A and B are shown apart, each in its own frame.
Chain A
Amino acid sequence: MSELRKDLVSGRWVIIATERSKRPDDFRPASEARPASEPGGFCPFCESSESKTPPEVFALRAEGTRPDTPGWRVRVVPNKFPALNRGTPPPKFTRGVLQWMEGIGVHEVVIENPDHAKELADLSVPHVRDVLWVYQQRIKAIEEELHYQYVQVFKNKGKEAGASLSHPHSQIVATPIVPKRVKEEIYGADRLSRSCKECVFCRTIREEAAAGERLVHKNSHFGIFTPFASRFPFEMAVYPLRHSPFFTDLREEELGILAGTMKAVLTKLKQTLGDPPFNLVLHQAPNPSLSHKTWPDIDRNFHWHFEVFPILTKMAGFEWGTGYHINPVSPETAATFLKFEGPA
């Protein structure tokens, strides 16, 4: 029997098509080998290619090494050919039913490590912590410019997930407007929080931990589960147990535990599905340096989180036309394969 499930926060419907149910092996790619280099042997993100990127805006590097030279562990550079350019938010123009504005924004690339073949899951926990810490620093720095309502951190891994280079990297894009998906979450969370008298994300993780059927892992600070209305097979959500709307509020000791947790999540994904392409996205509340008056009680109602979804199915006419996703693996089944013990 298939089931129509609703994600209460976003209001999105998903078809869990259990009759098509598949096992992780059905999704394993034919070849799991990662290329040690790009075809042609050149990669602009590798160590010693620093001259091919714009000057770094941030880096964790060995003492005594100069910017834009080898010796870095994590390096952040602006996009060389950005779709959005830095600047003050331009006015919105309107003509009839049309609305537009100049393409203002920030687009940075976080090169997670100098080794082309080492994915985030392959790095040491302290190195993963460094990458997460760098996300925090860049978000804060961009938010302080006061021009951007929202800073989106995301990672595309593998061609099918939108990555054009296999060298491990994440991206940070800041926009002068809050994206629709985040707005949906803000308003959905507000609506639900008013009816359940607490943060709906806090309640969700508590209920998921108690029920256990979709719980992948829970430690002292974070809970991971396969969402009830998962859009994608083996989709996971990573929630902090301590309520906070901002990822940038994460404390030093929490960052270390999150690093171990994220490494374990990505390693489990790799082991279960054979190094699949995936997207990782961070959702947090809009820029706290700007007024939050327009957002309903956001400090109380919004709860930052990561979403991880392997790209194993394709969006086609039905999905684009209706906004529904068809997920051939129930989240309950996915959780049985993804569950792990430890590390934090």
Chain B
Amino acid sequence: MKKILLVEDEKTLCLLYEEELSKEGYDVTAVNDADAALEALASGNFDLIITDIRMPGKNGIELITQIMGQRKDIPIIINSAYQSYKEDFMTWAADAYIVKSSSLDELKRKIKELIGD
């Protein structure tokens, strides 16, 4: 089973994503901030990271930059409510940038494309 690390500060969204992605057959570990994500990464293996950008503490771009400094082999999806961060070239560290919407179809499609079922 493919393992996904989900970084999302909105707890209700976290629950929704966990439920939806688990139904798709993924093993989802959800954390609510960047520091917790770095801790999770240090202690576990993941096939994919999905991260929000605007979060308390370090934002998602700082998080992926820090991850890139250590390892570049895990695919990353930015999942943000804001288009505007696309102007920041540091987002290129991610493999995909998805703008949050009420449907998770695009996110699920991108996950499948990056890591398969």
Footprint of B on A, CB under 8 Å? 38-42, 44-45, 51-53, 80-83, 109, 164-165, 169
**In the assembled complex, B72 has its CB within 8 A of some CB on chain A:** yes
Judging by beta carbons under 8 Å apart, are A53 and B92 in contact? Answer: yes
Of all A-B residue pairs in the complex, the 9 with the closest CB atoms, nearest first, are: A42-B68, A40-B65, A44-B92, A41-B69, A81-B86, A164-B88, A40-B69, A165-B89, A81-B97
Assembly CA distance A40 to B69 (angstroms): 5
Other A-B pairs, 14, CB within 8 Å; known A45-B89, A164-B90, A165-B90: A40-B65, A40-B66, A40-B68, A41-B69, A44-B90, A52-B68, A53-B92, A81-B86, A81-B92, A82-B86, A83-B83, A83-B87, A164-B88, A165-B89
Assembly CA distance A146 to B69 (angstroms): 41
**In the assembled complex, B91 has its CB within 8 A of some CB on chain A:** yes
Assembly CA distance A44 to B64 (angstroms): 12
Assembly CA distance A45 to B87 (angstroms): 15
- The one of B65, B83, B86 in contact with A38, judged by C-beta atoms closer than 8 angstroms, is B65
Q: What are 19 pairs between A and B in contact, CB < 8 Å? A: A39-B62, A39-B65, A40-B65, A41-B68, A42-B68, A42-B69, A44-B92, A52-B92, A52-B93, A53-B92, A80-B91, A80-B92, A81-B86, A81-B91, A81-B92, A81-B97, A83-B86, A109-B89, A165-B89
Contacts of A52 in B (CB 8 A): 68, 72, 92-93
Q: How far is the CB of A97 from chain B (nearest CB, A)?
A: 25
Judging by beta carbons under 8 Å apart, are A164 and B68 in contact? Answer: no
Q: How far is the CB of B9 from chain A (nearest CB, A)?
A: 20
Assembly CA distance A82 to B91 (angstroms): 12
Judging by beta carbons under 8 Å apart, are A38 and B90 in contact? Answer: yes
Contact with A along B43-84 (1 / 0, CB 8 A): 000000000000000000010011011001000000000010
Judging by beta carbons under 8 Å apart, are A44 and B86 in contact? Answer: no
Most chain A CB within a 10 A radius of its CB, from B62, B65, B86, B89: B89
Contacts of A41 in B (CB 8 A): 68-69
Assembly CA distance A15 to B21 (angstroms): 59
Most chain B CB within a 10 A radius of its CB, from A44, A81, A82: A81
Q: How far is the CB of A228 from chain B (nearest CB, A)?
A: 33
Q: How far is the CB of A105 from chain B (nearest CB, A)?
A: 14
Closest to A109 in B: B89
Q: How far is the CB of A118 from chain B (nearest CB, A)?
A: 17
Assembly CA distance A82 to B92 (angstroms): 11
Contacts of A38 in B (CB 8 A): 65, 90
Assembly CA distance A280 to B68 (angstroms): 30
Q: How far is the CB of A227 from chain B (nearest CB, A)?
A: 28
Contacts of B68 in A (CB 8 A): 40-42, 52
Q: How far is the CB of B58 from chain A (nearest CB, A)?
A: 10
